[in-house]
Amino acid sequence: MRLNLSLLTLSLAAAVPACSWSTFDDLANTMWVNSIDKPDVGSSDYGVGLIGASTGTSGGRVAVLGNDVPGYSTLHYDAHGGVSVGPNPQKLGQHFISALADQPILITDGTGRIALVNAAIDANQVEVGIGDADTIADAPFAGAPPQDAVFARTSGSTPANLIVAAGPNVYTLDGTTPSDTTKTKTCTVFAATGSTAAAIGIDDQTLWLWTTTGALVGYHLSPTLANCTVSTSGTPTTPDVTGPTSAFAPIAGSKMYVIGSSTDAHEWAILAGHDTMGHGAVSVVDLKALAPVGTAISADGLRTSAFSTVGAAGSTTMMIALGYPAREINGTSGGQVELYSFDTTTGALSTAPIALLNDAQPSDAELFGRALGFDSFNGATILVVGASNKVFTYFRTLLYAETRQ
């Protein structure tokens, strides 16, 4: 595989226009990023999805999806930022996936365990590839094409259950033996002709669903979802909690990030999504008051997002990254990523992007920002961005210091 160091543009919101490092030496020590070209892993459309999957405090690991010929592989980083392809690249056809969703569902439980959730080759089947990022195994089940998935929160060494929203139902796969369908629980939470979940999130007590009609509803993990079976009448389960409904109608590929827990003084949900017309919106809901916080951010062209606490211990910032892969940069539709900070006390996002990221020399249809994720690298959390046949790894930004050793 070929690895090259790429210089990307960083501009401050409401500051100077974007500029190249080769022209302005004062930016040379502000941001460092590696651009990794597509390795020889079979797929011809690399970087359509990614997620951090590191398990240690030295180096890092990122799981990456490719399409055309659907494929799955990992990138392993050493402590200096050097990178190599992981030990087990796979063609996803052997996992019953003939084509990936437009925005693939690829998530992690934060311990190096990942789940890829996608419609299977066979009709009315959902394929789940789950396990350590280098050794995923199959756990298929019967269901409609999935909209979103989340790992349940857990403590100790118990593997977290996987929760999948697919059609009108919510499925819970057993964390220890996810392939054992006798342990899979199914809840019908929407009528067959009603809305579905565009995105889901979870805390210690409640599964939250952001519906395709713009509503935010919650179901307590126990007892409502504890032993749920399929409803034969199609009658939806009544939500335990009903939050605000917005005029924005998100579709699959939208995301929800739950910050805090039921026992914290504050708990928030960030809703980042897009609709069928290509419009986007990002909003915050106070889950204690069940009320919106401030004014939603209009985000036309938004396709992807990721949320995390970035940086190293003692110097961290909560941040959401928003991807606009079709955005024009200096007349070229190369794509761009916006970074916003988040205040856990007020629930407020920064009023404008803290930084804008894009290739300093973008090419048409580069699709920079079509996949976003965060990875633990040398014990710090860093941003990773997918583009057309490239993965950009940010070892340093204005929001966190140099992480390479």
Looking at residue 224, its pLDDT comes to 66
Looking at residue 127, its pLDDT comes to 97
Residues 126 and 148: their CA atoms lie apart, in Å, by: 12
Task: Examine the pLDDT at 253 and tell me if it is beyond 90.
Answer: yes
Average pLDDT for 221-234: 57
Task: Examine the pLDDT at 4 and tell me if it is beyond 50.
Answer: no
Looking at residue 236, its pLDDT comes to 55
Residues 55 and 268: their CA atoms lie apart, in Å, by: 27
Non-local (6+) Cβ contacts of 374 within 8 A are 52, 306, 308, 310, 381, 382, 383, 384
Query: Distance from CA of residue 124 to its chain's centroid?
Result: 24
Q: How far apart, in Å, are the Cα atoms of 379 and each of 74, 278, 387?
A: 19, 37, 25
Non-local (6+) Cβ contacts of 259 within 8 A are 267, 268, 269, 270, 307, 318, 342, 344
Task: Examine the pLDDT at 64 and tell me if it is beyond 60.
Answer: yes
The count of other CB atoms within 10 Å of the CB of residue 297 is 21
pTM listed for this prediction = 0.91
Task: Examine the pLDDT at 2 and tell me if it is beyond 50.
Answer: no
Where do the H-state alpha helices sit in 140-269?
Answer: none
Q: How confident is the model at residue 393 (pLDDT cuts 50, 70, 90)?
A: very high
Instruction: Let me know: does 385 contact 370? Beta carbons within 8 Å.
Output: no
